[in-house]
Amino acid sequence: MEYIKSDKSGECIFCDLRPELDRDHLVLHRGQHVFVLLNRYPYSAGHLLVAPYAHGACLEELELEVRSDLMARIADGARVLKHAYRCDGLNIGANVGTASGAGYPDHLHFHIVPRWSGDTNFMTVVGETSVIPQHVERIFDELVAGFQELSAS
């Protein structure tokens, strides 16, 4: 609920992320055209956001190489989450446009949400509760190591 009520006016949150502040902004990995970060307001532990550096509201506004890198980083995020958290499944998707529920409709980004059999599903959204058993900074440390391993291979 904190996110929903927060002020979202001003600069684009995805365009404003300077590399020297990656840890503060929870950026886990930077690729050629795309970066991966932890969602500060997650639905579950490890909820990732994958966004291009290019400011665009939808896929068709992005160049082919950016779209290709976007899909590759989404696959990397899925791989890291499956390895780190042994999740049973993933929700992967984007809300394009305000009618779809996009909180930041002007900068396309994908969500990767780890899921476990019997988890709380939509409880965190509707019930204004947090069921995340780990602190976001500890999750960051675990997942950044996973992306570093992927980059090294």
Name the pTM for this structure.
Answer: 0.81
pLDDT tens-place string over residues 12-54: 989 988 999 999 999 999 999 999 999 988 888 899 999 999 9
Exposed e or buried b for every residue in 31-65, given b needs 16+ CB within 10 A? bebbbbbbbeebbbbbbbbbbbbbeeeeeeebeee
Q: How many CB atoms lie within 10 A of CB 70?
A: 23
Amino acid identity of residue 84, one-letter, is A
Query: What would the two tokens of residue 18 be?
Result: 């300077």
Among candidate residues 29, 33, 47, 109, the one labeled active-site is 109
**Higher-confidence position of 104 and 5:** 104
Query: What would the two tokens of residue 107 be?
Result: 């900068």
pLDDT range class, residue 4, cuts 50, 70, 90: very low
Place of tokens 């440390």: 141
Please name each of the domains of the chain with its CATH number.
25-120+132-152 (3.30.428.10)
Check residue 34 and give its pLDDT: 97
Residue 103 has pLDDT above 90, yes or no: no
Query: What would the two tokens of residue 8 be?
Result: 């979202």
Is 109 among the catalytic positions?
yes
- Ramachandran region, residue 91 (left: φ > 0; alpha: ψ -120 to 50; beta: rest): beta
Q: Beta partners for 51?
A: 35
pLDDT above 70 covers what percent of the chain?
84
